[in-house]
Amino acid sequence: MTSLLRRFHADTRGFMHLLTGVLLVVIIAALALVINTGRATSSKMHMQTAADAAAHSATVVTSRTVNLVTATNINIVRTGSAEALAWAVWPTVAEIIDNWEEAISSAGWFAPVVAARIAAFEAPQLAKFIAKAGPTGARQMASRSLIKRIKKINTWQKDLLAATPGIVEDQRAKVEDFYGVQIKLVQLGSSDGRVRAPVRKPRGMEERLLTIAYLLEQRIKTDRQGWDGTLSRIHYGRGSDVWARWTSAMGAVVAFDIRGRFIVLDTHDGFLEKKPKRQERNYAFAVTAVARHPEGSHESRVFAGLNRRPFNKTGSAMAVAQAETFHLADEGQQIPFHWRIWSTCGWQWQPRLTFARALPKLLEQDPALAAWFDDIGSPNYDPRALQDLTQH
């Protein structure tokens, strides 16, 4: 028995077979690890591209919505200014004539001289004003067509805002279909789970009336200069002063008539439009996209039991991306912050990808989104893991 054991111990035949078997297992495990890692990386990149595309396309839509709102707000102010000037024509003519009568009656012995000067120099200027501006003024006072146009523009704005979530959803579905993944778009503060543009209706008397009155007055000052040269020659009739007073008065009337019929940014505050802070950006200006494999599908693995990844119970990849609507003025360019929604500066709203800072609060707000993370075992309540996930 002892000699048998010694011979078995000394016999090296079959050692290479045993070594080859062990090495083969190691090689297979290494190959499986390489293949699985490659597939996981490729899947993750695919998911990330899909999430980036979905988030960016959503903010392309919201940026264009804000730019269109800007354009129509400009149109509302310009149309309101034209209406105010048209309404001011005939009250201005009536007051100039009254001023002439007052000037003649108070001139005493010089009344004939004053009357002659008025007839020779000032009356032709008023006649020119009446000939060109009178018919427009009379027509607008009768038809109020410009006010009706403003109301139609505002109705179009409301229709645009109502259509924006549907356009975003259509884009999401196309991206989802193209990449063959499931994509969820979420936004902080959304009550119905749909993505909206960072604009709203004016609130309170200051925004609804005083804001539009101020903006109209600024525009009227520019528009009435076209007649200032002519009316300034009406000295005794005090033409320029009368024109300025009546256009401003009619601007106030127009502002009251169209009060609240325009759109402002979510960051609008009374007379001011302030730069969005990070919290406001994440709340109103940002859209977060989460992409994952369709339900029931998962990544194929070679010997999946050999190298399970943590926080991934189903073998599904998931990616997160956040994009926001931003303004170039926020990046240090020399553009006034105030009234960007009202001026040509407002045309510079653009989309861009950002860090997914809104994700932790979105997981608290949206149970369906949290369920997505729970399904694959992602650490949706681990702040450090979420921070690693959102640094994209």
Q: What is the pLDDT of residues 314-360, one digit of tens each?
A: 445 688 899 999 887 777 655 555 556 766 667 788 999 988 888 88
Contacts of 279 (CB under 8 A, 6+ apart): none
CA distance 45 to 52: 10
For 27-50, what is each residue's pLDDT tens digit?
766 676 666 666 666 777 888 899
pLDDT at 60: 96
Distance (Å, rounded) from C-alpha 185 to C-alpha 183?
7
Instruction: Assess contact for 239 and 126: CB atoms under 8 A.
Output: yes
How many other C-beta atoms lie within 10 A of the C-beta of residue 138?
13
Are residues 102 and 196 in contact, defined by beta-carbon separation less than 8 angstroms?
Answer: no
Give the pTM: 0.81
At 178 the pLDDT is 94
Q: What is the pLDDT of residue 280?
A: 80
Find the helix or strand (DSSP H, E) in which 268 lies. strand 268-269
Tokens representing 325 are: 């609507």
Q: How far apart, in whole angstroms, are the C-alpha atoms of residue 390 and residue 289? A: 11
Please give the pLDDT value at position 385: 58
Q: What is the pLDDT of residue 311?
A: 41
- Counts for the chain of helices (H) and strands (E), in that order: 13, 8
Beta strands in the chain (DSSP E): 182-186, 199-200, 264-265, 268-269, 272-273, 286-292, 318-327, 349-354
The residue ranges of the chain whose pLDDT is under 50 are 306-307, 309-315, 391-392
Annotated domain spans of the chain? 39-390
Name the β-bridge partners of 322.
288, 354
pLDDT given at position 314: 45
The per-residue pLDDT for 312 is 47
